[in-house]
Amino acid sequence: MERTLVLIKPDAVQRGMIGLVTGRFESKGLKVAGLKMMQLTDGLLNEHYGHLSDKPFFPRIKSFMQETPVVAMCLEGVDAVDVVRGLCGVTNARQASPGTIRGDFGMSVQCNLVHASDSLETARAEVPRFFSDAELFTYAKADDPVVYADDER
């Protein structure tokens, strides 16, 4: 099982889509291992978006991500990193495929509703950046046996 980080961004919070976005992941069969609301700090965003620090839009994305609290979520499942990225769609929401969260609900590059870890290596850095061990839960879920075949888990 993999674990990956999702952030529900301020545009989705402002638009009342926390439940809708969370529901997409739950309906897919991903397990919520951690979930909380957070007001992101400059320090955390400098770390989280460090790979974009030389981009002209870096200050804008930092202030955008602080406009409201975000919802941070750790999702668990087989191939969870790729599955979650696929559910989100490509960065530019206007180009994201219908059926994805960004493709169905977004019109912007910046305001694209969700963040999702882009690789297993990134997820392994991002999950502990946002969640302590005590905030992550391992539990059996009633639908586990029907979400996967026995040899897939």
- Residues forming the site for ligand IDP (CB under 6 A): 52, 57, 61, 91, 109-110, 112, 115, 118
Is residue 115 part of the annotated active site? The answer reads yes
Query: Which two tokens mark 56?
Result: 């002209």
Question: What, of ligand IDP, Mg ion, none, does residue 66 touch, CB below 5 to 8 Å by kind?
Answer: none
Q: Which residue is nearest to ligand IDP (CB)?
A: 91
User: What's the rounded Cα separation, in Å, for the pair 128 and 13?
Assistant: 23
User: What's the rounded Cα separation, in Å, for the pair 111 and 98?
Assistant: 17
Tell which residue, 16, 27, 20, 33, has the closest CA to residue 131.
33
Question: What, of Mg ion, ligand IDP, none, does residue 110 touch, CB below 5 to 8 Å by kind?
Answer: ligand IDP
The residue among 10 and 77 lying less far from ligand IDP, judged by its C-beta, is 10
Q: Which residue is nearest to Mg ion (CB)?
A: 118
CB 83 within 8 A of CB 11: no
**Least separation in angstroms between CB 142 and Mg ion:** 33
